[in-house]
Amino acid sequence: MGKAEFLTPKSISNRIKAKGLQKLRWYCQMCQKQCRDENGFKCHCMSESHQRQLLLASENPTKFMDYFSDEFKRDFLELLRRRFGTKRVHNNIVYNEYISYREHVHMNSTQWETLTDFTKWLGREGLCKVDETPKGWYIQYIDRDPETIRRQEELARKKKQEMDDVERSAKFIEEQVRRGRDGKETEETPVFTELKRESEEEKGGSGLAFFFFFPGLLTFSVLGPSALKAAAAPPSVKRKDPPSSSDSKSEKKKKSALEEIIEERKKKQPSRTDYWLQPDIVVKVITKKLGEKYHKKKAVVTEVRDRYGAVVKLIDSGDKLKLDQNHLETVIPAPGKRVLILNGPYRDTEALLEGIDEKNFSATLTLDGHLKGKRVTVAYEDFSKLA
């Protein structure tokens, strides 16, 4: 049967079929020829061009296998570096993206028989960090580019320098507060004066010794005969008046202001974490592994386990599920609703949602607590609706 003419229905049908991916067992890596069915692959294997390629490969088989192995390794690692960076990812996810390219080098033409063998080889060669889990093998690309290493070291040095500056400022403020408190305690200590005797009592005969004890005052005195009558009455003692209530209130206010400054400086320190779950917040289920019944459904976090896991109760059905935080996302309510900040310098602070900035994926919040009334801008993923 002759070849279909150009732009005929048969020709168009053949081109449409040739565009998509075909089965691996009908692909010839030596000739880089993809066949659509078993009959086509059989005809290709009997063709003269395929026989010539087999003769060339038989002369030096290791040369061709090494070439295909190097091509497969290079393209696989380039996809892993460009697509996932240094993140930990399942090896099958990377492989599925790699084979989606029609002209890729097939694994059956390389020195590795399975993807697991190739993954173990990457770990032995030190090209990736590999670990085996019940869900399969995970790989993490090791970036040894000098420019990348230099950039990471520079970022770490800047972060350490910023932390040192913040800690130094916080220690200085704490030292000033401590000195202020120590000075106030010494000033507030009451000072008592001695009892003074009159000259007539000093000229009198032998006197008697008495102990006078008053709250906060112990005095020993020798009184003459003329002063025995006055001994029953409490002597006039000059003591420092205790600080008034208004003064103590003002001091407390000053102390609380200093403490607020310390708290504010501490809150400005980097406080981001890789976990964000909190009880009594509303979240949305984003995983599809549980089926359409729970996908995109809203739930309330009833319990947080090991920081990264949570027990949630669905709002619609009341079903309880145990999910990882990667299977959940925050819920942004309408303006005027109350939210809880989950990450950043204002973590664990309740706030009121004032407005939403859709272009920057953030919202304006009015804080509660000791910073009540302060307005801040927080990203979508750093706060969620309160139940």
Q: Return the exposure string of 154-182: e unless at least 16 CB atoms fall within 10 Å of the residue's CB, then b.
A: eeeeeeeeeeeeeeeebeebeeebeeeee
CA gap 21, 98 in Å, rounded: 12
Which residues of the chain form CATH 2.30.30.140? 282-385
Angle at 362 between CA 361 and CA 364, to 5 degrees: 155
Can you read off the two tokens belonging to residue 217? 């005052």
CA gap 218, 99 in Å, rounded: 94
Can you read off the two tokens belonging to residue 329? 């996302």
Tokens 């010494």, residue?
A: 186
Per cent of the chain over pLDDT 90 is 26
Residue 204 · residue 228 · CB < 8 Å: no
Residue 209 · residue 222 · CB < 8 Å: yes
Of residues 344 and 215, the one with the higher pLDDT is 344
pLDDT tens, residue by residue, 263-319:
665 555 557 888 999 999 999 999 888 888 889 999 999 999 988 999 999 998 889
Output the pLDDT for position 94.
92
Output the pLDDT for position 54.
73
Output the pLDDT for position 52.
77
pLDDT tens, residue by residue, 32-61:
677 777 778 788 888 887 777 777 777 777
Cα distances (Å, whole numbers) of residue 244 to 64, 188, 191, 240, 269? 95, 11, 16, 12, 38
- Contacts of residue 266, Cβ cutoff 8 Å, sequence gap at least 6: 170
Is residue 2 very low, low, confident or very high in pLDDT (cuts 50, 70, 90)? Answer: low
Is residue 212 very low, low, confident or very high in pLDDT (cuts 50, 70, 90)? Answer: very low
Please say if the pLDDT value at position 198 is more than 50: yes
As a 3-state breakdown, the chain gives helix, strand, coil percent values, each rounded to 5, of: 45, 25, 35
Smallest CA-to-CA distance from 39 within 30, 26, 28, 20 is with 26
CA gap 308, 68 in Å, rounded: 42
CA gap 302, 305 in Å, rounded: 10
Of residues 59 and 76, the one with the higher pLDDT is 76
Smallest CA-to-CA distance from 349 within 284, 282, 231, 267 is with 267
Is residue 190 very low, low, confident or very high in pLDDT (cuts 50, 70, 90)? Answer: low
DSSP structural state of residue 154: H
Can you read off the two tokens belonging to residue 134? 């019940």
Please say if the pLDDT value at position 240 is more than 50: no
Choose the CATH number for 60-141 among 3.40.630.10, 2.60.40.10, 1.10.10.2030, 3.40.50.11810: 1.10.10.2030
The CATH number that domain 282-385 falls under is 2.30.30.140
pLDDT tens, residue by residue, 90-120:
999 999 888 887 777 888 778 888 999 999 9
Q: Mean pLDDT across the stretch 148-156?
A: 78
Residue 136 · residue 90 · CB < 8 Å: yes
Residue 68 · residue 61 · CB < 8 Å: no
Cα distances (Å, whole numbers) of residue 169 to 144, 262, 268, 307? 37, 9, 12, 31
Beta pairing partners, 282:
300
- Contacts of residue 360, Cβ cutoff 8 Å, sequence gap at least 6: none
Please say if the pLDDT value at position 343 is more than 80: yes
Output the pLDDT for position 111.
87
